Amino acid sequence: MPATLNHRFDGPEGAPVIVLGSPLGADGRVWDAIVPALVATHRVLRFDTRGHGGSELPPGTPTMSDLAEDVVALADQYAIERFTYAGISLAGALGLAVALDAPERLDRLVVCCSGAKLGEAAGWHERAALVRRDGVGAVAETVVGRWFTPEYAAREPAVVADTLAMLRACPAEGYAAACDAVATFDARARLAAVTAPTLVIAAERDPSTPVALSEEVAAGIPGARLVLVPDAAHLVIVEKADEVAEILVDFLSGA
């Protein structure tokens, strides 16, 4: 049963829809600096992953396909037959699941700072257990420390503080459930089945999802394009918002 997702729309009604997904522990605010560039041509739909923000967390251990089903059900709620999907980190993997499970729904796909397999299952289960025991605060500082380059963190301490507060506010069980979904996700053998025109964005200094993971996704999806954003870490949509916005606008225009 799909979860009911907290969400918001920006941009003109009737325009093509682009759905934006956020990293593990975060919500749609991480896209704030990108949205103004997108609403010129698109209706932007941001959502909180199940168990994050105001989104429902159904019982049971979810898979990435369950998270993808949530997004498709959200589109169904508004009779959105086709949409572009752009996701970063956890939500990038979620986008691959949408592309594989519901290919008829996608116009285009953007996979940012993500991979077809994100680390080893044991590590994710360990993180889930830690968060269930001690809360998201137990991992928040380490996580955010990997999301920005040290130079950016020193230059924009308020952004880092806001991001840290966002993670600490994430419900522990929602964060842990998403960890469990990532632990079982492995789409590497299925990448060739992705039919949506695909853009893969990597950040040069990303320690969370190294460039090699993006290269693997781009190499596996027929016709995919890889763009490397220099001198940025994992949360590239914040650290290099203007550059990423330009890349996305070009892709959405068919360039």
Would you say 201 and 227 are in contact if contact means Cβ atoms under 8 Å apart? yes
CA–CA–CA angle 41, 95, 54 (5° rounding): 85
83: Cα separation from own chain's centroid: 16
Query: What is the per-residue pLDDT for 154?
Result: 98
Query: What is the per-residue pLDDT for 140?
Result: 97
Cβ-in-10-Å burial (0-12, 13-18, 19+) of 27 comes to buried
- Whole-angstrom Cα distance, residue 112 to residue 92? 6
Query: What is the per-residue pLDDT for 169?
Result: 96
Confidence of residue 1 (pLDDT cuts 50, 70, 90): confident
Please give the domain boundaries of the chain with CATH numbers for all domains: 7-119+185-252 (3.40.50.1820)
Of 146 and 255, the one with more pLDDT: 146
- Position 132: which residue type? R
Return the sign of the alpha-carbon dihedral for residues 114, 149, 52, 175.
Answer: positive
Q: What mean pLDDT comes out for the span 110-135?
A: 97
Sheet bearing 43-47, strands edge to edge:
7-10, 43-47, 17-21, 83-88, 106-112, 198-203, 225-229
Q: What is the pLDDT of residues 92-107, one digit of tens each?
A: 999 999 999 999 999 9
Residue 255 has pLDDT above 90, yes or no: no
* Model pTM above 0.95: yes
Q: What is the pLDDT of residues 36-90, one digit of tens each?
A: 999 999 999 999 999 999 999 999 999 999 999 999 999 999 999 999 999 999 9
Tokens matching residue 14: 């009737």
Compute the mean pLDDT over every residue in the chain, rounded to the nearest whole number.
97
